[in-house]
Amino acid sequence: MPHTGDMPSDEFLLSGQSLIEWVANYRERIDEVPVLPDFKPGHLSEQLPAAAPQSGEPMQAILQDLDSLIMPGMTHWNHPNFFAYFSITGSGPGILGELASAAFNINGMLWKTSPAATELEQVTLEWLRKMLALPDDFKGIVYDTASVSSLHAIAAAREAFSDLNIREQGMAGRPDCPRLILYCSEHAHSSIDKAAIALGLGLNSVRKISADEKYRMRPKELALAIEEDRRQGWRPFCVVATVGTTSTTSIDPVQAIADICERENLWLHVDAAYGGSAAIVPEKRYIFDGCDRADSLVMNPHKWLFVPVDFSVLFTSRPEVLRQAFRLTPEYLRTPEDEQVENYMDYGVQLGRRFRALKLWFVLRYFGVDGLVARIRNHLELAQMLAGWIDEHSEFERMAPVPFSTVCFRANPAGISEPQQLNVLNERLLAAVNETRRIYLSHTKLGDDYVLRFAIGNLRTEERHISTAWKIVQEQLNDLL
Ligand SMILES: *Cc1c(COP(=O)(O)O)cnc(C)c1O
């Protein structure tokens, strides 16, 4: 007879202790393993059985396979030499907060279904709002990712035009519903396009505004595009400005964009998924200039505030519009407290939600505001140091300003004048660097140029890691030449 019931407590305690030891050891020795695995597609799948085990297995066997099967296929985002995309950290307090959250395993759809989850989210997001010096009337809500936060912001922007009544009538087959147009710069994140797909606006309704030589949206072009679209009989409804674009971390001129939005009565959404965290550093507050005038703003504590993935926050000064867009309460979800409390299910597509605020609370309390500021400031300084080394080197050039902790550069040695040849060289350089598996960089394209990105954001990254990485890049270029 198979047993019923959960894992016995004594076994949980023993297995739990060995897993915590395993995690502590992993964190301690992460330096000693390559950041990138040597792994062919399908390699793990081939080693795993085709069906789940018929009888249960001992925890010990599972933990062993964590080392023998899973570890070899891991790309270590916690590695101090992870410089690709945007570098992140599953910090100690964050991991522990995640563990406590898993233990509670609540569903915070309603205040009633776990009052502390709703209230801790309200309080910690209010702490975060103050740390970021955002206006008092900005209210926060946690979603999984910036993509989903922006999707909700754009849905609220559409809802704000109540005359169209899209919530009830939809957009299809309606001669009285003009094409709705959404604006962002050519450097905006692809999640904005995806939001347009998901919301039924269509990709052709996303107008990409050209950027200047520092990769910032040109407000004059934005104003012209809006005028042109209005002439066509279309309906501009939302502008997305980016503070810290994904390719180069450029900052759109939010103040000038806000002027246009105000004049044209458009919803202003700011995507600060990566860059937003830097606003807790007093001397970096300027990055949010004009953001107090936004209708909504997204930033990701899971990117650069040391909270484990996933954790994104949407702040909005118009929560009632967001709620109007998504509130829908079937009888079985009514509670006696509905009039007195916030029910987070009213603010989005998802009903169930996990207790994410717990890990933010752990991180904010453990490091404290001063501790977090010091850590982000350190990353900003490390990036400036690297930018300096690149600027001094005759065979490399920096490809964009460095307002945050990400440096865009490429090799440009003497004797190669063909742009295409230069692109091939840099593509091969990136491949060679990553094939060492000792460091991990990624790339982007700026215009026609292939560019390498070096993103600093892990708590374990120190000056010595950056200087070794820089040495590896130079060595690999030498070998290629
Ligand atoms: C990373 C990033 C996103 C997407 O973030 P997810 O949380 O992975 O959806 C969106 N916008 C910008 C500017 C980003 O850097």
- Whole-angstrom Cα distance, residue 206 to residue 340? 39
Structure confidence by residue, pLDDT tens digits, 124-175: 999 999 999 999 999 999 999 999 999 999 999 999 988 999 999 999 999 9
Nearest to 442 by CA among 429, 456, 453: 453
φ/ψ of 298, rounded to 5, equals -110, 135
The CATH fold assigned to 107-354 is Aspartate Aminotransferase; domain 2 (3.40.640)
Structure confidence by residue, pLDDT tens digits, 376-397: 999 999 999 999 999 999 999 9
Give one DSSP letter per residue of 254-309, joined into a string. Answer: HHHHHHHHHHHT-EEEEE-TTGGGGGGSGGGGGGGTTGGG-SEEEE-HHHHS-PPS
Give one DSSP letter per residue of 122-138, joined into a string. Answer: HHHHHHHHHHTT--TT-
Residues touching ligand 1 (Cβ under 6 Å) are 86, 145-147, 189, 191, 242, 244-246, 271, 273-274, 300, 312
Mean pLDDT to the nearest integer, 431-455? 97
Interval between CA 133 and ligand 1 midpoint (Å):
21
Choosing from 193, 216, 303, 312 the residue with most ligand 1 atoms within 8 A of its CB, the one to mutate for a pocket test is 303
φ/ψ of 168, rounded to 5, equals -90, -40
Question: Mean pLDDT score of the chain, rounded to an integer?
Answer: 97
Residue nearest to atom 5 of ligand 1 (CA): 146
Query: Tokens for 180?
Result: 């709705």
- Whole-angstrom Cα distance, residue 375 to residue 305? 9
Nearest to 307 by CA among 262, 352, 356, 360: 360
Residue nearest to atom 15 of ligand 1 (CA): 246
Structure confidence by residue, pLDDT tens digits, 24-43: 999 999 999 999 999 999 99
Question: Spelled out in words, what is the top-level CATH class assigned to the domain 12-36+75-91+368-481?
Answer: alpha beta
- Whole-angstrom Cα distance, residue 457 to residue 479? 29
Q: What is the pLDDT of residue 417?
A: 84
Q: How far is CA 141 from the centre of its chain?
A: 15
346 and 326 in contact (C-beta within 8 Å)?
Answer: yes
**With bands split at pLDDT 50, 70 and 90, how would you rate the model's confidence at 1?**
low
Looking at the chain, the domain(s) classified CATH 3.90.1150.170 span: 12-36+75-91+368-481
Structure confidence by residue, pLDDT tens digits, 291-321: 999 999 999 999 999 999 999 999 999 999 9
Query: Tokens for 193?
Result: 């396009």
Q: What is the pLDDT of residue 174?
A: 92
Mean pLDDT to the nearest integer, 438-448? 97
Structure confidence by residue, pLDDT tens digits, 339-360: 999 999 999 999 999 999 999 9
Structure confidence by residue, pLDDT tens digits, 181-239: 999 999 999 999 999 999 999 999 999 999 999 999 999 999 999 999 999 999 999 99
Inform me whether the pLDDT recorded for 50 exceeds 90. Answer: yes
444 and 189 in contact (C-beta within 8 Å)?
Answer: no
253 and 218 in contact (C-beta within 8 Å)?
Answer: no
Inform me whether the pLDDT recorded for 89 exceeds 70. Answer: yes
Q: What is the pLDDT of residue 3?
A: 80
Q: Percent helix, strand and coil across the chain, each rounded to 5?
A: 50, 15, 40
Choosing from 88, 184, 246 the residue with most ligand 1 atoms within 8 A of its CB, the one to mutate for a pocket test is 246
Q: Which residues contact 433 (CB under 8 A, 6 or more apart)?
A: 439, 441, 472, 473, 476
Interval between CA 299 and ligand 1 midpoint (Å):
9
Looking at the chain, the domain(s) classified CATH 3.40.640.10 span: 107-354
